[in-house]
Structure 1
Amino acid sequence: MKVSKRSLNLGEHEVHEITLENGNGISVSFLTYGGIITRVMVPDKEGCLDNIVLAYEDYRDYLNNPGYLGSIIGRTAGRIRDAQFTLDGKEYVLAKNYGESSGHGGNRGFDKHVFSCEVLKSENRIDAQLFRISPHLEEGYPEELQVTVKYSLSEENVFTIEYHGTSSENTLFNMTNHSYFNLSGSFRESIKYHELFIDADHFAEIDETKAPTGVLTSVQDTPFDFRFMREIGEEMSTENEQLKIANGYDHAFLLKKNPGTKVRLAHRHTGRVMEIETDNQAVVVYTQNYAQGQIIQDGSVLEPCRSIALEVQKLPIGVNEVFKEFSVLPAKSPQVTTTTFRFLVEQQ
């Protein structure tokens, strides 16, 4: 197991890019700014290593980062309809950075803060702990929140993310990571030809603002049925109102509570497979339906549907504060959620 670190400046921020590498050549690199994952290098069936996460060519672009590439998202992931909520009888007003809604933590969410970092190495595993304290009323959220995000890489080719949150008073807490994946290693290739499995019987419907309505709909006989491996793009052009609203998939799937693989992504040509397990509630699947002209790692201009974000989290807060109860962090009750990414190669 190896750890390396390099220093760089992002605007006014002096940050580090830290790389965790196991004995099989698999490595994960991230910034202390926003906990942004910049590289996940994994082999294909020929043993060739490629970066399977979407990244900028110029790291200074992470200062703006409209698509939240690779970022830690907090305090809450997803949209909060009308950018306000009530907690313990008090109303809190958030920034409207997603139209009339608040999204992904507000104007300056966790993706735009520098975290302190400590790396611990053992024989079979490396842990990197990112820590910060979010003060009372940061981006409008109540109470001080202590946050630790732990990135771990093992010799078994498993990358783990743990989110720890604790507060002395009730607040909201629903974190995720916003990495975009393309297992081909080329972000010029459409994500529609990847195969996907999701262990979910229901998905959350969205309204015209893309906020959850509170309705959980069966995936049966819909384009949202990924209970068996199939190509992502197989039904994306189907006449379906939910797909039209989002211009593709941008929906939360309620994961079944049984143990085992919750999400499986596969690319036949390279043989790369990624399996996700989690004790969290849901996964928001976003097929990168839009692009903002980003210059990405190979120097090309990003086009839509070149990657997929698999945002493991609680159900996002929607219309009339539906699903809010899942994001409430009770006072003096530390919460930990864990998500693991296992990297495999299958010979076809």
Structure 2
Amino acid sequence: MTTTPPDQPAPGVHRRVFGHMPDGRAVEAVTLANAHGISTTVIAYGATLQSVIVPDREGVAADVTLGYATLEAYLAQSQYLGSSIGRVANRIAGGRFVLDGTEYYVPCNNGPNALHGGPGGFDKALWEVTGVSSAPHPAVTLAHTSPDGDEGFPGTLRVTATYALDDAGNLAITYRAETDRPTIVNLTNHAYWNLAGEGAASGAVDHVLTIPADHFLPTDETAIPTGAFAEVTATPFDFREPTVIGARVRDASHPQIRIGTGYDHNWVVARERSAVPRLVARLEHAASGRSLEVLSTEPGVQFYSGNFLDGSSIGKAGQCYRMGDGIALEPQMFPDTPNQPAFGSIRLEPGEIYTHRLVFALRGG
């Protein structure tokens, strides 16, 4: 069963109140709609991509990203469905990093490590809608200020997230950040995709995935990269050619599949950031004809096969989200970069502007 999307909105920008925080603050929802039946809704809580509606080859629309129907469900769960992630995406070993000789600690919320900015990361913040526009494309900008010491990170960080949808179906997300003290930043979006339609009984493991990467980052038992750049050749991590996700997601012969209970690893598309977004992944669903290309200025992409969706949360279609019901493709700098100099740097200085440009290129059948 999949959701029956509401009548598609007219092209443009549509605003409404999605719900209210426990302290009474209103949480806005902004829907961006193009002229070809594709629409996306962003809610201010977590600058979250709440829905993405795309027609199939027969013109039948479905919501292809996992999420909740109510604000209360987002507040009750912590699965990062569609959330903007910061200050630092992915894991920091032991929640510890050193900057200019000073040790900083982020509260650990993933076993012995800090994950996605700690328990009070940007996914838990109520962002402010600071601007909407209809030209040249429907777009919304949200802003959030993270104070000095927030979750242990130094410096006051001012962040914006701009979502824009064009008539070709390209959903562009631009993250920008500025700081008043040296700090570290690694922002991304944590959308979960099911091109059959969220809630579909088939899940997403029948999708065909391509990742143009010769290497991936193996991890220890706590999902922290070992520091090695491992070749994908002759492993279940080789997605250089289109491959059905389910073909190897449970290949227990490979120790990294056992560690991740499936895929939860970072692929090395490049070693450095790019000035313009480049392809980091392509996802296809044969039955519907829908496809998704993910492009980013970042060198890595975390592919997570939804291994820990355990049926405890109910999605927009009224169905339990189970293992493999959605997959995440999160472009980013490499996990634990602050503690692994070979991975590069995520340092941001006062006067600099951090920018991550990300595109979800959505196509119907």
Asked if Structure 1 and Structure 2 have the same fold, meaning a TM-score greater than 0.5 normalized by the shorter chain, the answer is yes
User: For the Cα contact (< 8 Å) 2:13–2:134, is it kept in 1?
Assistant: no
TM-score normalised to the size of structure 1?
0.95
State the 1:233 CA deviation: 1.3
Task: Report how many aligned residue pairs link the two structures.
Answer: 346
- Aligned equivalents of 2:177 and 2:31: distance in 1? 24
Paired position in structure 1 for 2:191 = 179
**Deviations, residues 237-263 of structure 1 (Å, cap 9, x unaligned):** 221000100100000011147975321
State the 1:319 CA deviation: 9.4
Q: What is the letter of the counterpart of residue 237 of structure 2? A: F
User: For the Cα contact (< 8 Å) 1:196–1:232, is it kept in 2?
Assistant: yes
**Deviations, residues 124-151 of structure 1 (Å, cap 9, x unaligned):** 4122111111110000000111111111
User: For the Cα contact (< 8 Å) 2:337–2:345, is it kept in 1?
Assistant: no
SS, match of residue 261 in structure 1: strand
Please tell me whether residue 232 in structure 1 is matched to residue 245 in structure 2: yes
Q: What is the letter of the counterpart of residue 308 of structure 1? A: I
* Bigger shift: residues 290-299 or 324-333: 324-333
- Aligned equivalents of 1:333 and 1:340: distance in 2? 23
Equivalent residue runs for 1:27-66 within 5 Å: 27-66=39-78
Q: What is the letter of the counterpart of residue 269 of structure 1? A: A
Paired position in structure 1 for 2:37 = 25
- Aligned equivalents of 1:323 and 1:95: distance in 2? 24
Q: What is the letter of the counterpart of residue 219 of structure 1? A: V
Q: What is the letter of the counterpart of residue 220 of structure 2? A: D
SS, match of residue 242 in structure 1: helix
State the 1:167 CA deviation: 1.2
State the 1:318 CA deviation: 6.2
User: For the Cα contact (< 8 Å) 1:81–1:318, is it kept in 2?
Assistant: no
Segments of 5+ residues of structure 2 without an aligned counterpart are 1-10
- Structure 2 vs 1, CA of residues 261 and 94 (structure 1 numbering), >3 Å: closer, same or farther? closer
Paired position in structure 2 for 1:125 = 137
Paired position in structure 1 for 2:21 = 10
Q: What is the letter of the counterpart of residue 257 of structure 2? A: L
Paired position in structure 2 for 1:246 = 260
State the 1:290 CA deviation: 1.1
Q: 1:264 is matched with which residue: 274, 282, 289?
A: 282
State the 1:322 CA deviation: 5.1
SS, match of residue 215 in structure 1: coil
User: For the Cα contact (< 8 Å) 2:198–2:316, is it kept in 1?
Assistant: no
Paired position in structure 1 for 2:332 = 313
SS, match of residue 138 in structure 2: strand
Please tell me whether residue 138 in structure 1 is matched to residue 138 in structure 2: no
Paired position in structure 1 for 2:220 = 207
Q: What is the letter of the counterpart of residue 244 of structure 1? A: R
SS, match of residue 306 in structure 1: coil
- Structure 2 vs 1, CA of residues 299 and 323 (structure 1 numbering), >3 Å: closer, same or farther? farther
Q: 2:230 is matched with which residue: 217, 227, 252?
A: 217
- Structure 2 vs 1, CA of residues 315 and 51 (structure 1 numbering), >3 Å: closer, same or farther? same
Q: What is the letter of the counterpart of residue 13 of structure 2? A: V
Dislocated runs of 4+, deviation >3 Å: 256-260, 318-325
CA RMSD between the two structures: 1.7
User: For the Cα contact (< 8 Å) 1:169–1:332, is it kept in 2?
Assistant: no
User: For the Cα contact (< 8 Å) 2:173–2:357, is it kept in 1?
Assistant: yes
Segments of 5+ residues of structure 1 without an aligned counterpart are none
- Aligned equivalents of 1:319 and 1:74: distance in 2? 14
User: For the Cα contact (< 8 Å) 1:317–1:323, is it kept in 2?
Assistant: no
Q: What is the letter of the counterpart of residue 245 of structure 1? A: I
**Deviations, residues 221-247 of structure 1 (Å, cap 9, x unaligned):** 111111111101111222100010010
Q: 2:356 is matched with which residue: 326, 337, 344?
A: 337
User: For the Cα contact (< 8 Å) 1:213–1:319, is it kept in 2?
Assistant: no
Paired position in structure 1 for 2:315 = 296
User: For the Cα contact (< 8 Å) 1:164–1:336, is it kept in 2?
Assistant: yes
- Structure 2 vs 1, CA of residues 322 and 286 (structure 1 numbering), >3 Å: closer, same or farther? farther
User: For the Cα contact (< 8 Å) 1:212–1:319, is it kept in 2?
Assistant: no
Paired position in structure 2 for 1:169 = 181
